[in-house]
Amino acid sequence: MDFPDLQAALAALNSGLRTTLRTNFTSIWLPIQLGIIVAVAAVALFIARTVRARFDLVSATMNWPPYARLAVRAMMNHLGTIIFVLLLSIVRVSMRASMDRPRTYLMLIAIDLASAWVVINIVAGVIRNQFVNRVVTVSVWTLAALSILRLLDPIVAGLDSVTLNLGGLRITPLVILKASVLMVLLVWAAVAASNFLDRRLRSFSDLTPSIQVLLSKLIRIALLAFAIIIALSSLGIDLSVLAVFTGAVGVGLGFGLQKIVSNLVSGIILLADKSIKPGDVISVGDQYGWVTTMGARYTAVDTKDGREYLIPNEDFVTQRVVNWSYSNNLIRLEVKFGASYSSDPRKVQAAAIAAAASVPRVLKQPAPICHLLAFGGSAVEYRLAFWIGDPGAGITAVRSNVMLALWDTLEKEGVGLPKPGPQRVIYERAKDDGEGLPPLSRPHPEERP
């Protein structure tokens, strides 16, 4: 490291502070100015509270443009500081007009600091992100305060005097600070621009949901990369010196971050080939639900039971995925049931088809169909198949409605339903008396269970 100007900068800073303290803060005017500042602050706070209690800001700015409404609300939030600046300025001007060479340096500093705070807060009020708003406000006001106190130039010189030469790159605390601030501002601007473009893309009905998401992700990545390059280039950093760093990043991507990169690439593939898109009804393994969001690393699947699965994009590429609404929204569902042997099978089939057709969500074309599957041990087994065209509204509910309609229709048509469990007939053999076994006794049909 090189420190050619550090001691000179510190000496200049120390000299400036001593001169300021000796000149302005060692006289009788110091307690006078402090008392005036405290008294004016108390009066300004009282006036601001009175105005806020009698003025309904929300109703007055209801129909105003959004940014104008935010600016006015920011002014009302700092009304006490604004009144403080006005009153203290009036007092200072009156003192300088009525007295012979009064000391008002501390009052001037208070006016400048308060004015800078109000202006910065009002301007930053258009930034809706609270974290970014606070960072911008504090950072800009700190620079303004250092400039007002005439400490900015010595501090900048001190930060720029500590140098670390890394190849052809000169690194100082000032360069790092500038790069950090510029990087934050540019990244925030890139994110805001990408969010705006994303909302615009979603308003285009000609684009499919998968294409909208794909373009949104590509635009966000391009804007972020552009912001980083601009930030580094504006500081005079030669991007060629980052070749070693990018090589290390490439090795890290190949080993430690391969899963993240795999999920990212898989997400781009899914969006490009349109195999899965927001709104599709899918099932992956045991997870079944509706695709709500497709992110860079995962896809959110809503199961409509209060849980939302975040499935890595790689699973959709490497595993078998059932997309119930890939090419169209037609889905065939099945219901299996049984009827007694005493019922006419053709009558049972007609009743089952009528029951399915009575449910509103069941499509008329393709029409429901009922097949006889097998002759079971206690009942004749049937399968009722029907189609729906809105899987996004739920599958379990429509199957339940069809089964309820089937129950009511079969009961109305007099179709007997089988008793639960297999039907058995028990035969008893008399006790052997040693002279041979008697024949089996067959119970009367009415005595059979």
Q: Any bridge partners for residue 250, and if so which?
A: none
Burial class (CB in 10 A: 0-12, 13-18, 19+), 114: buried
| Crossing angle for the helix pair 209-234 and 173-202, to the nearest 10 degrees | 160
| 3 state SS of 327 | coil
The residues spanned by each domain of the chain are 6-162, 170-256, 265-323, 328-449
**168 with 238: CB under 8 angstroms?**
yes
End-to-end CA distance of the chain: 101
Q: Who's near 348: CB < 8 A, 6+ residues apart?
A: 339, 370, 380, 382, 410, 415
Architecture of the domain delimited by 265-323: Roll (2.30)
pLDDT at residue number 131: 74
- What pLDDT score was predicted for residue 57? 67
Whether residue 51 contacts residue 79, with contact meaning beta carbons closer than 8 Å, is answered with yes
10-residue mean pLDDT series, the chain (449 residues)? 49 54 60 85 87 73 72 76 87 83 79 82 70 75 77 73 66 76 81 84 72 78 83 68 63 66 78 77 77 81 79 83 77 88 89 90 89 87 89 80 90 79 57 51 47
May I ask the CATH class of domain 328-449?
Answer: alpha beta
Report the Cα 199 to chain-centroid distance in Å.
14
- Please, which residues bridge with residue 289 across strands? 282
d(CA 368, CA 382): 13
pLDDT of residue 370: 92
Nearest by Cα to 133 from 143, 141, 124, 142: 124
Q: Which residues contact 225 (CB under 8 A, 6 or more apart)?
A: none
Q: How far apart are CA 321 and CA 251, in angstroms?
A: 32
Inter-residue contact 241 to 168 (CB < 8 Å)? yes
- pTM value is 0.44
**What pLDDT is recorded for position 1?**
45
Cβ contacts of 290 within 8 Å, gap of 6 or more: 279, 280, 281, 282, 301, 302, 304, 392
Whether the Cβ atoms of residue 192 and residue 50 lie closer than 8 Å to each other? no
Confidence at residue 385, expressed as pLDDT on a 0 to 100 scale: 92
Query: Hey, do 265-323 and 328-449 end up sharing a CATH topology, with the first three levels equal?
Result: no
The β-bridge partners of 311 are 299
pLDDT on residue 303: 78
Q: How many CB atoms lie within 10 A of CB 184?
A: 16
Give me the pLDDT at residue 235, please: 66
Which value, to the nearest 10 degrees, does the dihedral of the CA atoms of residues 109, 111, 112, 115 take?
Answer: 160
Q: What is the pLDDT of residue 382?
A: 92
**pLDDT of 105:** 77
